[in-house]
Amino acid sequence: MEMKGEYRISASREIVWDALNDPEVLKACLEGCESLDKRSDTEFDALVKTKVGPIKTTFSCSLELSDIDPPNAYTLSGQGNGGASGYAKGSVRVVLAENDGATDLSYTVDASLRGKIGQMGSRVIDSVAKKMADDFFDRLRGIVNERAGVTTETETPAKSQSAFVFRAALIAAVVGLVILGIVFLTN
């Protein structure tokens, strides 16, 4: 499954990059993330509790950063094991671009799900993934705006398709996050 999306954040690319590379920020943005532990500059372990449809599970995830181009882009790859509930594997490419004092964050997720979660219909998965991505990016925006001293009303995604983003990245790779889902580690 491949998903793409773009979000605008009212802060400089450097501030957004720093937030996306702060494990505490990512943990705070990702609902259900119980731990995010750094093994090296590019490797992490995460424990994420999640619910997809009627299935509740805890994923134990191994994550790795690659193709790092500060403060422009990176790829997060990994895999997550949820026991009897399923297995996830995938990657997310995150790209940041300055845009008139703000930052456009775009992502592409490539993920596969196996087991009970993988057997659920794409409409259920897409619906849950969209909500996870939006929640992740709303939290990220709040943290980044606070760091940048920006006060704005709730922003909407610049472009958004159903996406697992950082949740998928942290579950599959999981994300969200982006995210948000998205959704979403440190350099």
The β-bridge partners of 62 are 45, 79
End-to-end CA, the chain: 28
**Is residue 99 pLDDT above 90, yes or no?**
yes
- What string of H, E and C letters represents the secondary structure of 23-88? HHHHHHHCCCEEEEEECCCCEEEEEEEEEECCEEEEEEEEEEEEEEECCCEEEEEEEEECHHHCEE
**Nearest partner of 184 among 5, 25, 3, 16, judged by Cα:** 25
The rounded mean pLDDT for the chain is: 76
Confidence (pLDDT) at 168: 36
pLDDT given at position 170: 41
Q: What pLDDT is stored for residue 3 in this prediction?
A: 77
What is the model's pLDDT at position 62?
94
Class of domain 2-172: alpha beta
Question: Over the stretch 66-98, which tens digit does the pLDDT of each residue have?
Answer: 999 999 999 989 898 988 888 888 888 999 999
Cα–Cα distances in angstroms (integers) from residue 45 to residues 56, 117, 151, 179, in the given order:
20, 21, 33, 17
Q: Which of 52-56, 104-108, 176-180 has the highest mean pLDDT?
A: 104-108
Q: How would you classify the pairing of strands 73-81 and 55-69?
A: antiparallel
Q: What is the mean pLDDT of residues 160-173?
A: 36
Instruction: Please report, rounded to a whole number, the percentage of residues in the chain having pLDDT higher than 70.
Output: 74
* pLDDT at 123 (0 to 100): 63
Greatest mean pLDDT among 57-66, 102-111, 149-158 lies in 57-66
pLDDT at 142 over 80: yes
DSSP letter for 153, please. P
Residue that is written with structure tokens 């026991």 in the block: 83
- 73, HSE (Cβ side, Cα atoms, 13 Å): 10
> What is the pLDDT averaged over residues 100-104?
93
Kindly report which listed range (28-37, 57-66, 108-117) carries the lowest average pLDDT score. 108-117
Closest CA to 183 of 101, 114, 112, 90: 90
